[in-house]
Amino acid sequence: MNIRINPEVKEALAAGNAVVALESTIISHGMPYPQNVETALSVEKIIREHGAVPATIGIIDGTGVIGMNPGEIEEFGKKGTEILKVSRRDLPVVMAEGLWGATTVATTMIFAAEAGIEFFATGGVGGVHRGAELTFDVSADLEELGRTNVTVICAGAKAILDLPKTLEVLETKGVPVLGYGTNELPAFYTRSSGLKVDYAIKDAQDAAKIVKAKRDFRLDGGILICNPIPEEYSYDAGEINAVIDEAVKEAESKGIKGKEITPFLLARIAEITGGRSLEANIRLVFNNAAAGAEIAKEYCALNK
C-alpha cells in the first residue's frame, strides 16, 4: 500500500508509545472552513495534552498520509467537499489515479491498521440507515469493524441511523460494543438511546485490558468504545429526534442517498438547530479524543 507515515508518528509507534488516529472526512465534509481546520487542530492538541501522538489520516495525490501536518490539514479544510469522500470500495481508484481523498471511519481504520495504530477517535460511526430493509443502505463502517483490528472511540452511532438494527449487525459481526462509563448506547447528540451496550466499562484501564485480551487471543476485528457526549452539550432526545425526522424526510424528497446522505443530514440538522448541533458535534469529538488518548496510554503501559 502506498503510504507515508509522519516521522513523529513512526517514532512513537517504534517506541511503543500512545498514538491515536483521526479521520479526515470530518475536516472536508463535516463542517465549513475555517471551523473545520480549527477543530481538527484542536483535536490534535487535546490528544497531545493527554499524552498521546495524533495521526490525522488522509489521501494526498494517491498516497495515504498517516499523520498529516498542519499545512496539509489546512489544504483539506480549504478544498472541503471538492475532495472525494473515500470508503473501502473507492480506495483502489483514488490511489491509482493519484487523487485526494478524505478518509471515512472505514478507510481510516484500514490505514491505521496498516501503520500499526490500535486506537482511532472519531465523532460517530456509520451504521444501518433508516429504511434499510428497503434500500439495503448499510455503512461500510460496520463491515470494517467486523474485520479490521482497530479500536474505535466514538459517541455511539450517528443519531440519524436505525440504532437497534445497527447494534444487531455489530453483534452478528462479533464486534464488542462497550459503554465508557455507561450501560446505554449513546446516540451521538444525546447521552442515551434507551438501548443497552454489550458491556459497561469503568475507565481507560478497564478498556485497555479488554482490547489487550482480544488482541492476545487473536480475535480479528474491531472494538467499539462508546463515550457519551458531555452532559452540558447533550440534547433532549425528543427535540433532536424531531429535527432528525425533518431532515430525513427532506433527504428522501430530494432523492439523496448513498455516501451523500450523512453529510447532507448533518448539515441540514445544523441549519435547523441554528448551529447548536454542530457545536455539540465538535464537543463530543473533543471528548472522544481525550478518552482515546487515555485508553491508548493505558494499553501501551500494559504492553511494556
User: What is the model's pLDDT at position 270?
Assistant: 85
Ranges of the chain with pLDDT below 70: none
* Host domain of residue 179: 3-302
- How many C-beta atoms lie closer than 10 Å to residue 221's C-beta? 16
8: Cα within 13 Å, side-chain hemisphere:
13
> Based on the structure, what is the number of domains in the chain?
1
pLDDT in tens, 230-278: 999 999 888 988 988 898 889 889 988 777 777 788 788 889 989 888 8
Enzyme catalytic residues:
23, 158
Instruction: Supply the pTM of this predicted model.
Output: 0.94
User: What is the model's pLDDT at position 43?
Assistant: 98
pLDDT in tens, 73-84: 999 999 999 999
CA-based end-to-end distance of the chain: 29
Place of cell 513512526: 10
**Strand duo 223-226 + 177-180: pairing:** parallel
**Strand duo 53-60 + 19-22: pairing:** parallel
Q: Which of 107, 145, 108 is nearest to 127 (CA)?
A: 145
Assess contact for 271 and 153: CB atoms under 8 A.
no
Could you give the CA distance from residue 265 to residue 272 in angstroms, rounded to a whole number?
10
pLDDT in tens, 133-153: 888 889 999 999 999 999 999
Assess contact for 223 and 199: CB atoms under 8 A.
no
Task: Write out the DSSP string of 69-121.
Answer: -HHHHHHHHHHGGGSEEE-GGGHHHHHHTT--EEE-HHHHHHHHHHHT--EEE
Mean pLDDT of the chain: 94
User: What is the model's pLDDT at position 251?
Assistant: 86
Place of cell 443530514: 265
CATH number at residue 262: 3.40.1790.10
